[in-house]
Each structure stands twice: as C-alpha cells, then as structure tokens.
Amino acid sequence: MYAVFESGSKQHRVSEGQIIKLEKLEKGIGDVVEFDKVLLVSSEKGIKIGKPFLDGSKVLAEVVAQARHPKIQILKFRRRKHHMKHQGHRQYYTAVKVTGIQS
C-alpha cells in the first residue's frame, strides 16, 4: 500500500514505515503530523485518484528529526572580469516516519 501526498508544494510517494525528508515543518520531535492533501492511494482493493485531492484520505506521520542538509557550494564566476564569488547553503528539513495511510 502506498500513497502520494503534497507537502511544501512537492509531491511525495510513501508507504508505511518509510522515513522521508520534507521541507521544514514547525513541529517538535515526536509530534504527529497529518497530511490531508492526498492525491493518490494504492491498496489491494485498487487505485483511488483524486481530482485533485481525495476526500477523507490522510497520511499520518511522526516527526523523527529537525536538521539541515549537507552544505552545497555555490560559485559565481565572470570570465576575464576578475570577479568570483563563493557562497554556501544548508537547507533545513524535517524527517518524518509514516505511521499510517487512511483511505
């Protein structure tokens, strides 16, 4: 059984027990998060597709961690102009473990 839901303007395909990294959510570790923007649910009975979302379907998850991704290096360079700029970025994320899918 799996589901596709929307969080942070991105779509995620998950199944029960899976840990995924989402854009930062203002929740504490151990809190239960409920995603109600479910686009698709697949089970033994068949596939349900929403238009755009399914009514009454939810993905339940528990917050596991609040952390930051590894640093990425950004280099801006202008040839023949003696211009080079270094920059780094670390994006915040929330790791959640999917505990249940209600269809």
User: Which residue type sits at 63?
Assistant: V
* pLDDT value of residue 102: 93
**pLDDT tens digits for 72-93?**
999 999 999 999 999 999 999 9
* pLDDT value of residue 103: 84
Which candidate, 24, 28, 19, places its Cα nearest to that of 7?
24
* pLDDT value of residue 92: 97
**pLDDT tens digits for 30-81?**
999 999 999 999 999 999 999 999 999 999 999 999 999 999 999 999 999 9
DSSP string, 15-77: ETT-EEEEE--S--TT-EEEE--EEEEEETTEEEE-SSS-TT-EEEEEEEEEEEPPPEEEEEE
* pLDDT value of residue 83: 97
Helix (H/G/I), strand (E/B), else coil: 97? strand
